[in-house]
Structure 1
Amino acid sequence: MRGHRYPALMLICFILFPALLHAEERIVEVRFMGNFTIPDETMMSMGGIVVGASASSDAMEDIRQRLLETRRFERVEVTRRYRSIGSGEDVVLLITVREKQPVAHKFMFLPILSGSDEYGFSYGIRTTAKDLLGWGERLSVPATWGGIRQAALEGEFGLNNPVAQTLTTRVGVSQKENPFYDTGDFRKEIRAAVTRRFDRFEIGAETGWTDVDFGSEQDDFAVFGANFVLDTRQDINLPRDAVYTGIGWKRLSFLRGRAGINVYTLDLRGYKGLFGQTVLAAQVFYSTADAPLPAFERPFLGGANTLRGWKPGSFIGDSIATASLELRIPLSPLRTAYHTGIDFFVDTGAVYDHGRSLWDARFRQGVGAGGYFLIAGFGIKVDVAYNMRDSFRVHFSTGFRF
């Protein structure tokens, strides 16, 4: 009988010994990282974590899910560490979290002050929220009064696919006074555009709808368009040794019986650094339509943004061509938060109706000098120009037009 005891004892050891080697892992300590505003005790409670409880893979996943279900974290990682090599059942939980930003902290408020002598100054506020919906988007609500009155909801969404990188949207209303017709222009608009950037190149497409009340005239139309841009500017406020080329097409499809119209634009700019900080800047702009445009879409000539020396909205047509040459001389040191300087310029431009040729159009000129002040994205520019005929005129704008 004694000989039969040894096999039984060996069988018992064979069964129990592995169990002793693989004793259940238990939580002996918990360490948190990334919980900047939430105390560790609150983290323990939200995760249902108890020292001495099981540290199995299922238990760790349960802790992670409970923390995520609180909706206070963007990301939760639960990993385990051992106190020592010889203490395999004593587990230290390392929990790393990324807290969600409080909703109130996602909003920014920026003042708006922009305009030129064509429409006057516009002032207001832009409210911007980043990742408010959790899609990584940027939402903005600009609201302005003054020369251009507007209220809109704008969105920017990252797509990051081979076709498009960015989707921008806009829904809004606006009102301004047309300087040529002295008539109110009230619009309701919906816009959506996608863009794709390749180094210095950018291509884009847009679509939208506009409802316009222009004096006694009412109309609405759909917009389809595409554009191509080459932009080597490092600083859009004070570019130097750079070029900009913009080519665009859009189709206006009217919804009340009017035939559709195609509009084509070309925008060429160049900036050459000369001595010191001095820059010679030039622009050629051309826009033409393949049919007569309605009054509310016709471009006008005259004013700070087209032809200085002439009253804003002096001339109007279906097509417009302008060219400008400026010598810009900064006066402030290069490495300062603000920029001041003077400039000397010559402008020329013409507008003409459909059916006429650019070569038959009458070009008018303006020459003059001005000064500017730029700081933190805000600028003011004042120019005094002579129309090469009989009068001088003062123009203002919030920064350079090109």
Structure 2
Amino acid sequence: MTNTATDAGLTDAEATAFRQRCVDFFESRPTQQAAPTFEESQAFHRAAAEAGVGVGIAVPTEYGGAGLTLAHDKIWRQVKEDYPVMETDFVISHGMCLPMVSDHGTHEQKLAFLPELISGEKLWCQMFSEPGAGSDVASLQTKAEVDGDEWIVNGQKVWTTLAHRSQYGLLVARNDPDQVKHAGLSMFIVEMQAPGVETRPIHQINGESHFNEVFFTDLRVPKNHLLGELNTGWKLATAMLMYERVAIGAGGGGGINTPMYDLLLRHAAASGAVDNAVVRDQLMQVYSMETTKALIAMRTRAEMKAGNTPGPGGSLGKLYGSVIAWKVRAIAQEMAGVGSIAWESNDPRGGNLQSVMLRTFASGIAGGTDEIQRNIIGDRVLGLPREPAVDKGVPFNELKVGTQA
């Protein structure tokens, strides 16, 4: 029988062969029972890159990718849904920094940074938020000033995920305070172990130290580490935030995935709570919500498959993920009481559900607060009138924002 072209641009035979190649890769890997350590996740990505699969499938081979198509990438994402999640520590590195360097980097930057970024040899972070610039990131005050062939950076970032583990980061800093606050910003590639960078981990409620404060004191950044054009930092930051919301809200492959439902069902079955009709109804609510979120993710992925930077619709999935997290936490507390958020250190059953539940508190903040997502959806998706802006047209150095006097 003659192969027909699929809607993804591959013939049936090509799609089937590549799908089997992805399955064979996963089946050749060691069985993963618990959540992967950073080292295990890193080894997975290294092996994937060597096998010509993984996050770099659609990146040209000269930059360390597999040189295939977005159709191959979609198949990879679909296949990996059937196997344990291995990218937890690489969501920002691969979901945000990789596409930004790929989309906006120079040829030299791509040659220098993409191969080790794809393979996981180097971990990247993103540095936007500051003590005086959270939801209003455009109020950031970290400065970048030209000094010969270098930029001198001074300032502070906060809530930087995995900065203490990262070798590189993407930094948005203000290079021209005479312009309005959304202008005069630029994005830079920063080496996290360079002199002038100090990272301080933040201790979290669940015992982890995932987030960090990062301080810059006369940090010297080479001029050729400017990402994109000068003064386009806000445009790049917006694009990167869209990638972040997709990574958070539309993560996974091309199919339906219900991780929170699966987690709750396992614990409800183990405790016998699943026999309660009310609990079963709650579980089905979560299942329905996660299925809806997955459908939104599929639409977002379809837009990206066309080669487009994700748009404001990515905020839908991100916001709904936060709503689901709040719902799941309430159900877990009803099922397990205080045992859903606290456990004895010697309790072999403790730690898994509780750690996940405690992490849900960050869902309404990470990637932009729920309030910001609703503003974006109202303004840029529904076309509702914007809120009045008192700082419109005013140079940044004349504003009293954040910690600026």
Instruction: State the TM bucket, normalised to the shorter chain.
Output: under 0.3
Q: TM-score of the superposition, structure 1-length normalised?
A: 0.21
Larger strand proportion of the pair: 1
Q: TM-score of the superposition, structure 2-length normalised?
A: 0.20
Larger helix proportion of the pair: 2
The structure with more radius of gyration: 1
